[in-house]
Amino acid sequence: MVKDVYYGKTLRKSYARHQEILEMPYLLDVQKHSYQWFLDTGLREVFKDVAAITDYAGNLELSFIDYTMDEAPKYDVEECKARDATYAAPIKVRVRLRNKETEEIKEQEIFMGDFPLMTNAGTFVINGAERVIVSQIVRSPGVYFAKNEDKAGNVTFGTTVIHYRGAWLEYETDLSDIFYVRIDKNRKLPITCLIRAVGPRTDAEIIDMFGEDARILATMEKDTCKTREDALLEIYRKLRPGEPPTVDSAESLLNALFFDPRRYDLSAVGRYKFNKKLAIWSRLNGQKLALPIADPMTGEIIAEAGEVLTRERAQAIEAKGVNETVIDLEGTLVRVFSNSMVDAKGFLPFDPAECGITEKVYFPLLRELLEQYAGDEEGLKEAVKDRVDDLVPKHIFVEDIMASINYLNCLANGVGTHDDIDHLGNRRLRCVGELLQNQFRIGFSRMERVIRERMTIQDLDIVTPQSLINIRPVTAAIKEFFGSSPLSQFMDQTNPLAELTHKRRMSALGPGGLSRDRASFDVRDIHYSHYGRLCPIETPEGPNIGLISYLASYARINRYGFIEAPYRKVDKATGRVTDEIEYMTADIEDEYTIAQATEPVDENGYLLNARITCRHRNEVIEVDREQVDYIDVSPKMMVSIATAMIPFLENDDANRALMGSNMQRQAVPLLQTEAPFVATGIEYKAAVDSG
The verdict on residue 611 lying in a domain is yes
Say whether both 574 and 650 belong to one domain.
Answer: no
Average pLDDT over residues 494-507: 96
Share of the chain above pLDDT 90, in %: 60
For the segment 420-438, the average pLDDT, to the nearest whole number, is 95
Considering the domain boundaries, does residue 191 fall inside one? yes
| Same structural domain, 22 and 33 | no
Q: Is the pLDDT assigned to residue 95 strictly greater than 90? A: yes
In a domain, residue 405? The reply is: no
| The amino acid at 494 | T
Does residue 361 share a domain with residue 294?
yes
pLDDT of residue 261: 82
pLDDT tens digits along 376-408: 888 888 888 888 888 888 888 889 999 999 999
Query: In a 3-state reduction of DSSP, which class is residue 442?
Result: helix
Q: Specify the pTM.
A: 0.94
Answer whether residue 51 shows pLDDT above 80: no
Same domain, 152 and 253: yes
Residue 185 and residue 65 in one domain: no
For 145-158, what is the mean pLDDT? 91
What span, in angstroms and rounded, lies between the C-alpha atoms of 98 and 368? 34
Average pLDDT estimate for 322-337 = 88
Residues 158 and 295 in one domain: no
Give the residue, 9 or 427, on which the prediction is more confident: 427
Last residue of a domain, one of 594, 610, 633: 633
pLDDT score, position 385: 87
- CATH for 519: 3.90.1100.10
Residue 245 has pLDDT above 90, yes or no: no
Q: pLDDT digit string (tens) for 642-669? A: 999 999 999 999 999 999 999 999 999 9
Instruction: Output the CA torsion 477→481→483→487 (10° steps).
Output: 170
Question: What is the model's pLDDT at position 137?
Answer: 97
What pLDDT, on the 0 to 100 scale, is given for residue 99?
87
Distances (CA, A) of 534 to 563, 566, 685: 8, 13, 19
Is there a domain that residue 433 lies in? yes
Asked whether residue 534 falls in the same domain as residue 680, the answer is yes
User: 455 with 469: CB under 8 angstroms?
Assistant: no
102 pLDDT higher than 90 = no
SS3 179: strand
pLDDT at 126: 96
Q: CA–CA separation, 414 vs 410, rounded Å?
A: 6
The CATH number covering residue 253 comes to 3.90.1110.10
Q: What are 191-208's pLDDT values in tens digits? A: 999 999 988 888 889 998
Share of the chain above pLDDT 70, in %: 100
Q: What is the identity of the amino acid at 240?
A: R
Q: State residue 344's pLDDT score.
A: 87
pLDDT score recorded for residue 571 = 92
Confidence of residue 460 (pLDDT cuts 50, 70, 90): confident
Total domain count, the chain: 5
If asked whether residues 150 and 235 sit together in one domain, one would say yes
* DSSP letter (8 states) at residue 34: H
* Residue 349 CA neighbour count, 13 Å, CB half: 12
Find, among 156, 160, 163, the residue nearest to 145 by Cα: 160
442 and 315 within one domain: no
Domain match, 285 and 206 both: no
- The answer to whether residue 422 sits within a structural domain is no
In a domain, 78, yes or no: yes
DSSP H helical ranges for 570-691? 586-589, 641-644, 654-664, 683-689
Q: What is the pLDDT of residue 582?
A: 97
Report the CATH number at residue 569: 2.30.150.10
pLDDT of residue 378: 85
Domain end among 394, 416, 438: 394
pLDDT (tens digit, 9 = 90+) per residue, 538-558?
A: 999 999 999 999 999 999 999
Same structural domain, 277 and 381: yes
Q: What's the average model confidence in pLDDT over 606-633? A: 94
Residue 233 has pLDDT above 80, yes or no: yes
Which of 259, 287, 315 is the C-terminal boundary of a domain? 259
- Return d(Cα 212, Cα 222) in angstroms, integer: 16
Q: What angle do CA 635, 640, 641 make, to 5 degrees?
A: 95
DSSP class of 119: P
Q: Parallel, antiparallel, or unpaired for β 288-289 and 324-329?
A: antiparallel
User: Which pLDDT does position 669 carry in this prediction?
Assistant: 92
* Mean pLDDT (whole number) for 305-324: 90
* Confidence at residue 100, expressed as pLDDT on a 0 to 100 scale: 84
* pLDDT band with cut points at 50, 70 and 90 for residue 161: very high
Contacts of 7 (CB under 8 A, 6+ apart): 681, 683, 684
Instruction: Give the Cα separation of 117 and 184 in Å (integer).
Output: 38
The answer to whether position 418 is within a domain reads no
- Helix (H), strand (E), coil (C) string for 267-331: HHHHHHHHHHHHCCHHHHCCCEECCCEECCCCCCEEECCCCECCHHHHHHHHHCCCCEEEEEECC
DSSP-derived secondary structure letter, 344: G
Q: Looking at residue 462, what is its pLDDT?
A: 84
Q: 104-121: per-residue pLDDT in tens?
A: 899 999 999 999 999 999
Instruction: Give the pLDDT confidence of 551-603 residue by residue, as tens digits.
Output: 999 999 999 999 999 999 999 888 899 999 999 999 999 999 999 999 999 98
Least confident of 124-128, 280-284, 343-347, 477-481: 343-347
Residue 410 belongs to a domain: no
Return mean pLDDT, the chain: 91
Owning domain of residue 20? 3-26+504-554+637-688
- Same domain membership, residue 524 and residue 474: no
Lowest mean pLDDT segment, chosen from 11-20, 49-58, 356-365, 466-475: 49-58
